[in-house]
Amino acid sequence: MFTRPDEAIRSELINDVIVGDLMMDPSRFLIHVDDGVVVLEGKAERSSLIPYLVRAVHHVEGVVRVENQLSVDVDDYDPAMAYPWMRP
């Protein structure tokens, strides 16, 4: 049994998470919610923002699963930041 209507989840994701918490442009994303399963599509500005967005979406009440299908404008992933012991 799902606790919230899909449209309520979608509205919270756009207004509270994307705009409110992460201060991202909501027009960059397509968000589909079906029985609590969220599909994120669109383009984030930087790859480093995607984990924060996905994690925030997971924490919204009523979300049962998140499918990340996002692409990015700039891949700002720095392996040295992920593995600091490998720095020269």
pLDDT of residue 51: 93
Give the distance between the most distant pair of CA atoms in the chain: 52
Sign of CA dihedral 25, 28, 33, 39: negative
User: Strand, helix or coil at 71?
Assistant: strand
Angle at CA 60, nearest 5°, toward 54 and 65? 60
CA 40, CA 26: separation in Å to the nearest integer?
Answer: 11
Per residue in 42-52, pLDDT (tens digit) is 999 989 899 99
Residue 63 amino acid letter = V
Work out the pLDDT band at 74, boundaries 50, 70, 90.
confident
CATH 3.30.450 is the classification of domain 6-86:
no
What is the rounded average pLDDT of the residues 39-65?
95
* Stated pTM of the model: 0.82
Q: How confident is the model at residue 36 (pLDDT cuts 50, 70, 90)?
A: very high
